[in-house]
């Protein structure tokens, strides 16, 4: 490729626009990443720092931000890669406008002609030009592609210069593409881009015939619908589809499927205003100028495929691994096909060396093997597509596995919760059973107490000399409430005892007018308790017993039963209209009745005492 002329070895060479420290920032990188122009991985980008001459790491290439905005992303399209090798130039030696020319050309071929970018058509339209100014040839961006003057191509309103583009450079990983033996040409720090013999763009008769036929289609496209396309319509196609034309893609633009197409670098769609602004940035047009975004003939896509595929050959430039013949022209004079278009420096002499010969000879073969190249290209494209589909399948399988793991985890949690719920239900059932057993036991105890109370009441009523029919009714009345019965019985007993007390008190006062009046039943009962060793006291007790029996007989004979029945109709209440607790009275009445009955039994069993001498016995 000629002698290397770096800044350290060729200080005599006068050049301009040499390398300088990069001004690109992390903010710029984030913007490029957000647009989808570069990889999202931090490992694929390197910022150069303060150095003034690039030294890209292995596997990386020097990239300019302006190139990315004009349709280039890595890995590069095979047409661009082969073109760089064929012309013997490096990516950084091109200009932003040259990158845009390549993007427009590929879009025209794929989206409007329905073919791969054609090498012969490219050489019919463009030629290679070395740039120069008064200070010498530029180091960065010293080579460009120019439209031939005699060719009626799109008159795209490009900017004459892109300000500051040389200062926005960084290192970007150049990933390998299956089926390729090399990526972009490796970085070589040369000062001047020397003209190569391969720059002579002479077409063979066969190539010229094919290129002429294809170019007629471009002319028809340019002037279709009564309108003349300037090229903004072509740029709007790849910008709107969010596709980088100079990037190696899964398929061509005529197979574009829409929003979910795998060749898109960004899934967000541009509005009409955003699209117009993006197209304007790549032109010299102002906001006052009208920008046409739609062509009279719509571009091809998967739903609108070409009616027929043109039979063309040799689409890509011959590359080092293709084996195509590159005819050397030992005469490196300006008298070539493009001499009239080239503004070359006549004072800079080309130095051909054995290194150049070895490089060119390594690419020679006697016959071009176009069929092999096409087969390899087709295989590489198919392999790339299958690799992408395989990656998607692996991703889908991993996603399914993750979902299965998550489902198993949810099922395990549900099973655990179900077991806890079963334990809780079992505990609640056991607790309910214990509560039911406790309630049954309490009810049984209440029934037992009520039975005891009922029997006690019946016994007490029997002791109160109730009739047989009344006692029988109490025993048979199963619906009677025990508590109500006890309460009513207590009231009856209390009424009976109170009436009895009154009668006994009157009778007692009549029999013993000077004796103290007993105020309570207990005190009255004490009157019947005497020392049996005292005959007089025994006589008094017998008299009292006889009086008490007579009193009871008199009370019962005078209708005491009806009074007791009337008395039982109302329960006793206190001053605040609250029911009186009769339990203490019941107990006292039972005790008193038992004591009275015992005394009567004892009195009936005792013999009559002997009378004292000189006394007369009383009549019974």
Strand order of the sheet with strand 60-64? Answer: 45-46, 169-173, 60-64
3-state secondary structure of 145: strand
Model confidence, pTM: 0.54
Q: Please provide the DSSP assignment of 228-293 as one string.
A: ---SHHHHHHHHHTT--TTB--SS-GGG--STT-TT-S--SPPPHHHHHHHHHHTSS--TTS----
201-220 b/e with 16+ CB inside 10 Å = b? bebeeebeebbeebbebbee
3-state secondary structure of 146: strand
Q: Which residues pair with 61 in a beta bridge?
A: 172
Instruction: Compute the radius of gyration of the chain from its Cα atoms.
Output: 62
| pLDDT tens digit sequence for 391-416 | 777 777 877 787 888 888 888 888 88
- 7 to 22, 52, 189: CA distances (angstroms): 18, 11, 8
Axis-axis angle for helices 560-567, 482-511 (nearest 10): 140
Average pLDDT over residues 499-513: 57
Average pLDDT over residues 585-598: 70
> What 8-state DSSP symbol labels residue 301?
B
Question: In the numeric block, which tokens belong to residue 591?
Answer: 């005790």
| Residue 300 scores a pLDDT above 90 | yes
| pLDDT tens digit sequence for 141-159 | 999 999 999 999 998 999 8
| pLDDT tens digit sequence for 415-453 | 888 888 888 888 888 888 888 888 888 888 777 766 666
Q: How far apart are CA 483 and CA 588, in angstroms?
A: 18
Q: How far apart are CA 407 and CA 396, in angstroms?
A: 16
Query: Residue 46: in which H helix or E strand, if any?
Result: strand 45-46
Report the pLDDT value the prediction gives residue 100, as an integer from 0 to 100: 97
Average pLDDT over residues 56-64: 96
Residue 16: CB atoms within 10 Å: 15
> What 8-state DSSP symbol labels residue 607?
P
Q: How far apart are CA 200 and CA 337, in angstroms?
A: 6
The candidate with the shortest Cα–Cα distance to 454, out of 482, 491, 494, is 482
| Residue 333 scores a pLDDT above 50 | no
The candidate with the shortest Cα–Cα distance to 251, out of 202, 197, 305, is 305
Report the pLDDT value the prediction gives residue 272, as an integer from 0 to 100: 93
Mean pLDDT of the chain: 76
| Residue 23 scores a pLDDT above 60 | yes
Q: How far apart are CA 380 and CA 386, in angstroms?
A: 10
| Residue 620 scores a pLDDT above 70 | no
Of the ranges 119-133, 214-228, 409-423, the best mean pLDDT one: 119-133
- 167 to 20, 95, 119: CA distances (angstroms): 7, 13, 32
Q: How far apart are CA 569 and CA 290, in angstroms?
A: 115
Q: Please provide the DSSP assignment of 359-417 as one string.
A: HHHTT--SS--HHHHHHHHHHHHHHHHHHHHHHHHHHHHHHHHHHHHHHHHHHHHHHHH
List the end-to-end C-alpha distance of the chain, in Å, as a whole number: 167
Q: What are the helix (H) ranges across 465-571?
A: 468-476, 482-511, 521-526, 535-557, 560-567
């Amino acid at each position: 490729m000629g002698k290397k002329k770096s800044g350290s070895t060729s200080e005599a060479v006068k050049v301009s626009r040499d390398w300088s420290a990069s001004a690109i920032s992390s903010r710029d990188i984030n913007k490029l990443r957000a647009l989808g122009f570069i990889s999202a991985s931090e490992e694929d980008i390197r910022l150069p720092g303060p150095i003034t001459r690039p030294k890209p790491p292995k596997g990386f290439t020097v990239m300019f931000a302006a190139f990315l905005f004009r349709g280039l992303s890595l890995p590069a399209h095979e047409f661009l890669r082969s073109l760089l090798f064929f012309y013997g130039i490096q990516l950084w030696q091109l200009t932003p406008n040259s990158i845009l020319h390549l993007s427009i050309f590929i879009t025209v071929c794929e989206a409007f002609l329905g073919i791969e970018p054609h090498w012969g058509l490219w050489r019919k339209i463009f030629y290679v030009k070395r740039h120069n100014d008064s200070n010498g040839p530029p180091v960065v961006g010293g080579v460009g592609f120019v439209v031939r003057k005699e060719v009626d191509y799109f008159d795209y309103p490009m900017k004459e210069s892109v300000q500051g583009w040389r200062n926005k450079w960084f290192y970007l990983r150049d990933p390998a593409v299956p089926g390729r033996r090399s990526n972009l040409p490796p970085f070589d720090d040369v000062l001047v881009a020397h003209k190569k013999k391969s720059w002579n763009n002479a077409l063979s008769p066969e190539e010229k015939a094919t290129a002429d036929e294809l170019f007629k289609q471009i002319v028809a496209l340019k002037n279709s619908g009564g309108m003349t396309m300037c090229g903004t319509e072509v740029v709007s196609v790849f910008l709107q589809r969010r596709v980088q034309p100079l990037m190696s893609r899964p398929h061509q633009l005529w197979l574009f499927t829409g929003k979910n197409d795998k060749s898109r670098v960004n899934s967000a769609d541009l509005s009409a205003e955003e699209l117009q602004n993006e197209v304007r940035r790549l032109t010299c047009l102002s906001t006052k100028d009208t920008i046409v975004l739609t062509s009279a003939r719509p571009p091809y896509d998967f739903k609108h495929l070409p009616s027929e595929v043109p039979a063309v050959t040799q689409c890509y430039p011959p590359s080092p691994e293709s084996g195509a013949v590159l005819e050397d022209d030992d005469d490196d004079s300006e008298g070539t096909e493009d001499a009239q278009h080239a503004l070359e420096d006549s004072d800079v002499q080309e130095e051909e060396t054995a290194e150049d010969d070895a490089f060119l000879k390594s690419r020679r073969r006697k016959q071009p093997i176009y069929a092999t190249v096409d087969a390899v290209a087709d295989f590489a494209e198919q392999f790339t597509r299958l690799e992408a589909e395989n990656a998607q399948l692996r991703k889908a399988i991993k996603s399914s596995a993750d979902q299965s793991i998550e489902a198993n985890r949810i099922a395990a949690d549900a099973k655990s919760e179900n077991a806890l719920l079963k334990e809780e239900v079992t505990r609640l059932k056991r607790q309910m059973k214990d509560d039911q057993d406790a309630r049954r036991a309490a009810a049984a105890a209440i029934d037992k107490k009520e039975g005891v109370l009922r029997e006690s009441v019946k016994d007490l009523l029997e002791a109160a000399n109730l009739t047989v029919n009344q006692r029988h009714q109490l025993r048979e009345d199963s619906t009677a409430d025990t508590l109500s019965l006890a309460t009513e019985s207590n009231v009856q007993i209390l009424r009976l005892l109170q009436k009895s007390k009154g009668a006994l008190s009157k009778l007692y006062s009549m029999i013993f007018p000077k004796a103290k009046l007993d105020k309570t039943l207990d005190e009255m009962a004490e009157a019947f308790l005497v020392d049996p060793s005292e005959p007089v006291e025994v006589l008094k007790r017998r008299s009292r017993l006889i009086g008490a029996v007579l009193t009871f007989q008199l009370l019962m004979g005078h209708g005491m039963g009806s009074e007791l029945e009337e008395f039982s109709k109302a329960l006793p209440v206190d001053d605040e209209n609250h029911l009186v607790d009769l339990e203490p009275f019941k107990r006292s009445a039972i005790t008193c009745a038992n004591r009275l009955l015992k005394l009567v039994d004892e009195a009936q069993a005792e013999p009559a005492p002997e009378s004292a001498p000189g006394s007369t016995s009383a009549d019974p």
